[in-house]
Structure 1
Amino acid sequence: MAERPELTEAERPPLRVVRVIARLNIGGPAIQAAVLTSGLDTRRFESTLVTGTEDDREGNMLSLASGEDFVAGVEPVVIPALGRSPSPLRDALAFLSLLRFMRKLRPDVVHTHTAKAGTLGRLAAWLTGVPVIVHTFHGNVFSGYFSPAVSRLIVTWERALSRISTAVIAISQRQADELVDLGFAESKIRVIPLGLPLGRFKTRSAEDCAMARQALGIAPDSVAVGFVARLVPVKNPELMVEAVAELAKVHSNVCLVVAGDGPLREAVVEAASLHGVELKMLGWRSDLGEVYGALDVVALSSHNEGLPVALIEAMASGVPVASTDVGGVADLLENGQIGELAKADPRSLANAIESAMRSSKSRTERARESVLNRFGEERLVSDIANLYEELAESKHRRISRRSRRYAMAQTG
């Protein structure tokens, strides 16, 4: 039987895209998944977001951001067995659910975010013949999470998964270089930085900042150091407490303001009490624009980062920043030109926070302009759309056949 002619460009239906993420907890990966699901042109893409469930205290990004444009219309397919915590039984059930879902929908593109979803989603896509498989490394689990032996096993496994991937995305050039150094094929790596809904973060007048501080119970003369993060080991919040304790030796009125939650909440409270650090625990907040307005500086103390959302949002709000020099932070801060970099020790981080507090107005304005130009959601959506279409073009014969089969299955 003669093979049917290929579909012309005008006849081609939108690319069916399935985006898989382990859970929509508060953080950059979930924001990216929502931005792409809501932002891609529906004439070119049919997007479906598949997610699992959050652990205790992780927060749900869709609930927290309810009412924001970037989550408008995002209604994920939830696989209850899918989540961050390892469980052989639940992981097997989640994998079978993903297999069934992909066999039914027959997507043209599967794009995974986060490590667990990257494993289960890519294997399910490969086994069901999905033409284009993409994975984004938001941070990576190669350092800061596990022992050296376990980390080596993870690197080996991720390299194997990259072989069945059409492309892998690094969110900074430094991260891309690290992947190459670890043996990932350079030809498959694309650098596409984060894209965030930054329009809600603005510089504020002195009066607005004073009102924000009053609302949070921060004294007018306090030095308010913000820590906006999940309270988990990789974020190393105990180091932040120790750094603020060092800073308090110079500034007696220092206050550490923590916006976030997680399993280390009690440990942070205990460490602050031990070191005599004034602490305000805000939990998860939906009004981060107001919170940033109350802060003198935002700092991070992580063992590992991709591109930290908190620093980007803070700079977009006109707040100076400091961070340990890990992952893509140096790329974000232009090697210290628009923010301070520190070693992973209390004194170095305290010095970086002190230097950030003295940032000139022109420096904070330059930082704001930089992140608005580099990390807007429109740029991300455009970059990803172009990548999907480029990769799909290289697989257009397979996609055309899948589209016909999918249409036949739908009609009958």
Structure 2
Amino acid sequence: MTPVSSNAPHGSSALRTVQVLGGGNAGSSAHVRSLAEGLVARGVRVTVCAPVEADRAYDFTGAGAEHVHVPRSSDPGSVAALRAVCADADLVHAHGLHASFRTVLALGGRTTPLVVTWHNRARAEGARAHLLRMLERRVVRTAAVVLGTSSDLVDRARRGGARDARLAAVGLPGRHRSPAHDTEGLRPKIRAELGTTGRPLLLAVGSLDRHRGYDVLLDAARAWRDLDPVPLVAIAGEGPLRPELQRRIEEEGLPVRLLGHREDVPELLAAADLALLTSSWESRPVLAQEALHARVPLVATRVGGIPDLVGDAAELVPYGAPHPLADTVVRLLADPGRREELRERGARQTATWPTEDETVAQVLSVYDELTQPRPLA
């Protein structure tokens, strides 16, 4: 087994690692891109296994990694493709449940160390939920180390039988941060485009899926129709609930716009008066991190890893409760002093989060534990 070396000396081979992504949500894909860049800079060889569209979006090859196209989990060829790539790896690191399970199948009992990072919790109901729990147990009992991005994910892995489960240090990649001075000039243009000149802009970001709580957000928006001026809720994201949400918006005359998929979320955020996060569960949501970095007051649900992530730098409301959400937004819009206080608290809170360098250092430390030869007793 090749020992970890931050800069492999001349004549010695570098540690060979494989990073495995499934479909790859924004958070895990950005994390793998950042991790690949940091590992390569420290002399580690990195191969990223992910669908080709993920490499187009996150440019793993531009980070110095080799990219190998591995189809999404629904493709029967994905396990065989992974097996071939992992054959000469010193260590494999899989991200997310589905990618991790396929990696377990691909390794097929080999002694290659497997590290798993859980960025989020898999969601399902009924028989599928039971199947996912079985997959989780198989993965955590096979992995040498499970890294969870929130304490409840770590606890979940331990309950599932993980030999070693730890809290992951996950820094927000620099590409997700847009300093205010970079985007402030675009604020009037964005607000004019959205029709929010002279009225508040409330921004939500995320796929149009059930767990995002957008039905609750639309319920809350009914209360905002009575404000003067009426705030506009802009939702950036695409997904299966679009027809249902659009129908409600039109039938109920709600001040909400579905923007579809957007590549300019940092600019949208800089133009917003408030950021809204209404999910049923999140670990370290990118929107929450981006909002605090951009000094945009955040209203979020008190679920999952969000309270630990934001501390006292956001207004937290119960999930599934439109009235507290509506009341909190109304109160914040009427209280510029409180909004400024949240901006200042957000700046202090972001200073406590791990940096990208600290994230890479933690992962390298784990790799070192698993690959360095141990002295004989």
Assess same fold via TM > 0.5. Answer: yes
Q: Is the 8 A contact 2:47 2:67 kept in 1?
A: yes
What runs of 5+ residues in structure 2 fail to find an aligned partner? none
Where does residue 391 of structure 1 map in the other structure? Answer: 370
Moved more, 347-356 or 235-244: 347-356
Match of 1:102 among 82, 86, 89: 86
Contact 1:258–1:279 (CA under 8 A) maintained in structure 2: yes
**Aligned-pair distance for 1:115?**
1.9
Partner of 2:97: 115
Q: Deviations over 1:120-145 (max 9, x none)?
A: 01232243431x1011111111xxx3
Q: Which of these residues, 349, 358, 362, is aligned with residue 325 of structure 2? A: 349
The residue that corresponds to 1:380 in the other structure is 359
Which has the larger displacement, 148-157 or 364-373? 148-157
1:61 and 1:206 mapped to 2: Cα distance? 26
1:218-252 CA distances to partner (integer Å, 9 max, x unpaired)?
Answer: 32221211011111222232222222223334455
CA RMSD of aligned residues (A): 3.0
1:265: how far off? Answer: 2.1
Supply the AA of the counterpart residue of 2:129: S
Q: Describe the shift of the 1:6–1:235 C-alpha distance in structure 2 as closer, same or farther (beyond 3 A).
A: closer
Amino acid at match of 2:119: H
Provide the residue aligned with 1:137 in structure 2. Answer: 118
Would you say the 8 A contact 1:172–1:193 is kept in 2? Answer: no
* Structure 1 residues 66-112: Cα deviation after superposition (integer angstroms, max 9, x where no partner): 7xx996445521123x24xxx4xx2x321122112222xx1111111
Distance 1:155 1:206, change over 3 A: closer
Q: Which runs of 5+ in 1 are unaligned?
A: 54-59, 398-412
Measure, in 1, the Cα distance between the counterparts of 2:24 and 2:222. Answer: 33
CA distance in 1, matches of 2:138, 2:62: 33
Measured in 2, the distance between the counterparts of 1:197 and 1:326 equals: 23
Cα distance in 2, alignment partners of residues 36 and 7 from structure 1: 19
- The answer on whether the counterparts of 2:237 and 2:259 sit within 8 Å (CA) in structure 1 is yes
CA distance in 1, matches of 2:207, 2:218: 14
Change (3 A) 1:207 1:122: closer
- Of the three residues 298, 306, 311, the one matched with 1:329 is 306
| 2:69 is equivalent to residue 78 of structure 1 | yes
Native 8 Å contact 1:257 1:281 kept in 2? yes
Number of residue pairs aligned between Structure 1 and Structure 2:
367
Deviations 1:370-407 (A, max 9, x none): 2244043222222212221122226799xxxxxxxxxx
1:21 aligns with 2:5: no
Aligned residue identity for 2:67: P
Quote the residue 1:404 is aligned against. none
Change (3 A) 1:353 1:149: farther
C-alpha distance in 2, partners of 1:396/1:268?
Answer: 61
Return the alpha-carbon distance in structure 1 between the equivalents of residues 298 and 4 of structure 2. Answer: 51
- d(CA) in 1 for partners of 2:83, 2:183: 55
Q: What is the rounded CA distance, in whole Å, between the counterparts of 1:376 and 1:8 in structure 2?
A: 21
Query: Mean alpha-carbon deviation: is it higher for 269-278 or for 71-80?
Result: 71-80
Farther-moved stretch of structure 1 (161-170 vs 361-370): 361-370
AA in 1 matched with 2:350: V
Contact 1:212 1:290 in 2 (8 A): no
Aligned to 1:218: 195
Change beyond 3 A, Cα 1:349–1:128? same
Contact 2:270–2:294 (8 Å) recurs in 1:
yes
Distance 1:395 1:93, change over 3 A: farther
Alignment CA distance shift 1:305-1:277 (3 Å): same
Give the secondary structure class of the aligned counterpart of 1:257: strand
**What letter matches 1:341 in structure 2?**
L
Q: Aligned partners of 1:267 and 1:395: how far apart in 2?
A: 58
Inter-CA distance 374–206: structure 2 relative to 1 (3 Å threshold): closer
State the distance in 2 between where 1:7 and 1:246 align: 60
Pairing partner for 1:234 from 184, 197, 211? 211
Give the TM-score normalised by structure 2.
0.86
Aligned residue number for residue 268 of structure 1: 245
16-25 or 193-202, larger mean C-alpha shift:
193-202
Tell me which residue corresponds to 1:298. 275
Change (3 A) 1:6 1:338: closer
For residues 383 and 236 of structure 1, the distance between their equivalents in structure 2, rounded to whole angstroms, comes to 33
Question: CA shift at 1:210, angstroms?
Answer: 4.2
Residue type at the aligned position of 2:344: E
Label 1:108 to 1:395 Cα distance change in 2 as closer, same or farther (>3 A): farther
**Aligned: 1:166 with 2:144:** yes
Letter in 2 for 1:339: A
2:315 aligns with 340
Q: Tell me: CA distance 1:370–1:8, structure 2 relative to 1, closer, same or farther (3 Å).
A: closer
% of aligned pairs identical? 24
8 A contact 1:110–1:125 mirrored in 2 = no
In 2, Cα distance between equivalents of 1:6 and 1:312 = 36
Cα distance in 1 for residues equivalent to 2:283 and 2:22: 17
Q: Deviations over 1:23-68 (max 9, x none)?
A: 245x101111111112214443101100136xxxxxx5654567xx
CA offset at residue 8 of structure 1?
Answer: 11
Distance 1:206 1:248, change over 3 A: farther
- 1:239-318 aligned within 5 A: 239-250=216-227, 252-318=229-295
